Amino acid sequence: MKFKEGDKVQFIREGSLIDGVVKEFKDCSPDMWYLIDDKCKDSWIFEGHLIPLTPLPVIPQFVADWIEYCKKHCWGLSEALEDTYENSCMPEEVMDWFEDCRENQELFARAWLDGYEVEKEPLYYVKLGDSGLDYLNVDERTEKKHVSNKEPSPNFRVKFTEKEIKNMNINYWAFRVPVEDLEETE
């Protein structure tokens, strides 16, 4: 079996390349057939007519923001990659990302041309004590902060990205606890 349920695949129907998702499969030896959901209809497709969908490049949110900014201003790919223009406004973190690894320029070009997925930023709690009621909570309506438990409740955020924490108060960063670390121990 080449594909499993949930795999993203492509096939050609009526001269068009169609994206779909494997819903189920049938082993009709020697042939394997797959039920594909292509958002318009479900179709049984012979395994030999399916190809795996190439995954989209995964980029950080700040790079996605830069791509959207450049496209909004009708810049071409070469302008988006160039940071020496007179009026360049490329964010420093994007420049650092390009300098960090040569392959990032190719990744950027693929994302520009083919689309992309944004990598999920790690989330953190801000734990200010040891009682279990010492987690930073922020009211989403008023942005007021208070200390309580880490359980989510309506209108209150308890999980934050690095940027959100540092924007609230740089000193909170010292009290961060990765969400995964706490959830693994529970």
Position 102 scores a pLDDT of: 85
pLDDT digits (tens, 9 = 90+) for 153-179: 888 899 999 989 999 999 999 999 999
In a domain, 2, yes or no: no
Residue range(s) defining the domain that contains residue 45: 8-52
pLDDT digits (tens, 9 = 90+) for 89-131: 889 889 899 988 889 999 999 999 989 999 988 999 999 988 8
Q: Give, in degrees to the nearest 5, the angle at Cα 30 between 29 and 34.
A: 70
pLDDT digits (tens, 9 = 90+) for 37-67: 988 789 899 998 898 877 889 999 999 999 9
In a domain, 1, yes or no: no
How far apart (Å, rounded) are the C-alpha atoms in residues 1 and 47? 9
Which of the listed residues 72, 101, 118 is the one where a domain comes to its end? 118
Whether 129 and 110 map to the same domain: the answer is: no
In a domain, 58, yes or no: no
Structural domain total, the chain: 3
Is it true that the peptide bond before 154 is cis, omega within 30 degrees of 0? no
How far apart (Å, rounded) are the C-alpha atoms in residues 8 and 5? 9
In a domain, 36, yes or no: yes
In a domain, 57, yes or no: no
Whether 109 and 132 map to the same domain: the answer is: no
